[in-house]
Structure 1
């Protein structure tokens, strides 16, 4: 499946190609990169000046758009900065996404509240920050709904992301 989104950003067209393969054994990574490059070249021929980015996902087909069904109940697409729960987009603030992203990239690793406070940009405002990390983590858990338990509290230390086989985490885009 190939999905593309064409939009406008500062009058320069932007094309995002998402290549999703339900059978990752059918093509190796080099072939997938070659396909992405060929699609980029074709897009540039059709729309001169287009800026292209490609994202590859070789796990079973995920959502190609916000309205398509997602094969996993929770998808965290780190490069696209998107989260989908049961096919519906989850709206996270910048700080909430940074915290979730930081934790998801380090499954089972305890991350200190201080480090998460740095991510939230409140480290210099320590007096006002108070329990802001706890509030952000609480909001992430609430917005993840039934998967909120993926973010565990490690008492007196910080937080940890506990991975689950039903959760898809997309971590990289296709090579440019």
Structure 2
């Protein structure tokens, strides 16, 4: 068996011819030896290294968030909050607008810091991408994507 570079089909054919010729010569000179015809088998050439998905990907339609191809486990409200902010990148969204959009005004009376708490949890789960959620003191929050952040509608 010979490994021949796949770039040259002529080389593979010539190698098989030489192997056949050598096999016939050995079979003729050594009693009891039979030569088989050389077979050219093509092996699947692995296509370079698999492309790894990198960065933060938010797919709002599929309700899917991934970092470097790995899913990020967010609760329903956390995902809604992130999607709400990602829907208008670079624009400040007030706490009142987030409550209306994510909680539909159904917050208990003693939960004035709920939005802040949920943003903190989302940041923790986003790891190195936590910086995409910017606090605008006294106003609300803003989604600031970077080049390695992709948001699909």
TM-score, length of structure 2 as denominator length: 0.63
Secondary structure, counterpart of 1:129 in structure 2 = coil
2:137 counterpart of 1:163: no
Alignment correspondent of 1:150: 132
Cα distance in 1 between the residues matched to 2:136 and 2:99: 16
Segments of 5+ residues of structure 1 without an aligned counterpart are 1-67, 172-176
Match 2:89 to one of 107, 117, 120: 107
Q: Shift in Å at residue 70 of structure 1?
A: 4.8
Alignment correspondent of 1:117: 99
In structure 2, the CA distance between the partners of 1:124 and 1:169, relative to structure 1 (3 Å rule), is closer
TM-score, length of structure 1 as denominator length: 0.55
Matches within 5 A, 1:1-176: 70-121=52-103, 123-171=105-153
Q: Shift in Å at residue 112 of structure 1?
A: 0.2
Cα distance in 1 between the residues matched to 2:114 and 2:104: 8
Q: Shift in Å at residue 128 of structure 1?
A: 2.5
Structure of larger gyration radius: 2
Q: Shift in Å at residue 161 of structure 1?
A: 0.3
Secondary structure, counterpart of 2:110 in structure 1 = helix
Count of matched residue positions in the alignment of Structure 1 and Structure 2: 104
Segments of 5+ residues of structure 2 without an aligned counterpart are 1-49
Q: Shift in Å at residue 119 of structure 1?
A: 2.8
In structure 2, the CA distance between the partners of 1:70 and 1:78, relative to structure 1 (3 Å rule), is farther
Moved over 2 A (4+): 68-72, 122-126
Higher percent of residues as strand: 1
1:28-79 per-residue CA deviation (whole Å, 9 max, x = no partner) reads xxxxxxxxxxxxxxxxxxxxxxxxxxxxxxxxxxxxxxxx965231111111
Q: Shift in Å at residue 130 of structure 1?
A: 1.7
Q: Shift in Å at residue 105 of structure 1?
A: 1.1
In structure 2, the CA distance between the partners of 1:151 and 1:78, relative to structure 1 (3 Å rule), is same
Alignment correspondent of 1:8: none
